[in-house]
């Protein structure tokens, strides 16, 4: 069983179920020297990347918070919930005797890596006209959650097909408008023609764009 398969099995049913990988050499060809794989492991062989799509992960989070309201006191309760799930993968890798270094796609992560670039390397998504990686099925309604550099075999990247190729880019009002910096607002994300069925729940969107207000409302509710 490859490391990619171990990660996929560990995350089954969690809501973080987009899993893909690439060789460490592929990663290192794009990574700045300061975060290349050999900084973390003596014999790196691959990188496994995971993400969530649609509202499934969020709904699991909300169910958990209804039973444990005290967790709202965390700096970012959603990131903390995600970290607990990623720790399940850590345990599975340790059980398999695989050395690893985990990265989180969270603001508090001290060693930042380019998750948009990673999405392209492993075949999960390609940069769209408004700065987010666009998934071929879920459009803009997905997110990278974590990555592991590992010293074991991984699956090759997924076949990558950009859904933006040939698209008129209604998300930004046409490609000429994408030459500047376009922010991924709710309206812009909603205009993407890919993945409307994966749209986040309204309270999830509110949390991502105005967390303090959303937390106050959800804590009270």
pLDDT tens profile 43-77? 999 999 999 999 999 999 999 998 888 888 888 89
Report the half-sphere exposure of 1 (CA within 13 A, side-chain side): 13
Closest to 157 (Cα-Cα) out of 34, 43, 19: 19
pLDDT tens profile 74-98? 888 999 999 999 999 999 999 999 9
pTM of the model: 0.92
DSSP3 helix / strand / coil % (the chain, rounded to 5) = 45, 15, 40
Report the half-sphere exposure of 45 (CA within 13 A, side-chain side): 12
Say if CB 61 and CB 78 are below 8 A apart: yes
Say if CB 7 and CB 48 are below 8 A apart: yes
What one-character DSSP code corresponds to residue 155?
P
Separation CA 26–CA 41 (nearest Å)? 16
Give the range among 158-167, 177-186, 199-208 with minimum mean pLDDT. Answer: 177-186
Sequence ranges of the domains in the chain = 3-220
């Amino acid at each position: 069983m490859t490391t990619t398969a171990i990660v996929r099995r560990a995350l089954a049913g969690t809501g973080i179920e987009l899993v893909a990988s690439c060789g460490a050499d592929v990663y290192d060809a794009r990574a700045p020297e300061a975060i290349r794989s050999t900084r973390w492991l003596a014999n790196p062989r691959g990188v496994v990347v995971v993400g969530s799509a649609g509202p499934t992960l969020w709904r699991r989070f909300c169910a958990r918070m209804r039973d444990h309201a005290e967790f709202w006191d965390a700096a970012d309760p959603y990131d903390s919930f995600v970290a607990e799930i990623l720790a399940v993968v850590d345990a599975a890798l340790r059980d398999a005797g695989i050395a690893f270094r985990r990265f989180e796609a969270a603001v508090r992560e001290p060693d930042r890596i380019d998750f948009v670039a990673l999405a392209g390397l492993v075949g999960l998504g390609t940069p769209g006209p408004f700065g987010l990686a666009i998934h071929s099925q879920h459009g803009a309604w997905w997110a990278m959650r974590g990555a592991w550099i590992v010293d074991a075999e991984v699956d090759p990247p997924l076949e990558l097909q950009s859904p933006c190729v040939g698209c008129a880019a209604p998300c930004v009002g046409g490609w000429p408008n994408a030459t500047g910096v376009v922010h991924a607002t709710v309206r812009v994300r909603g205009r993407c023609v890919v993945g409307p069925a994966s749209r986040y729940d309204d309270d999830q969107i509110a949390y991502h764009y105005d967390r303090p207000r959303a937390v106050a409302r959800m804590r009270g509710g």
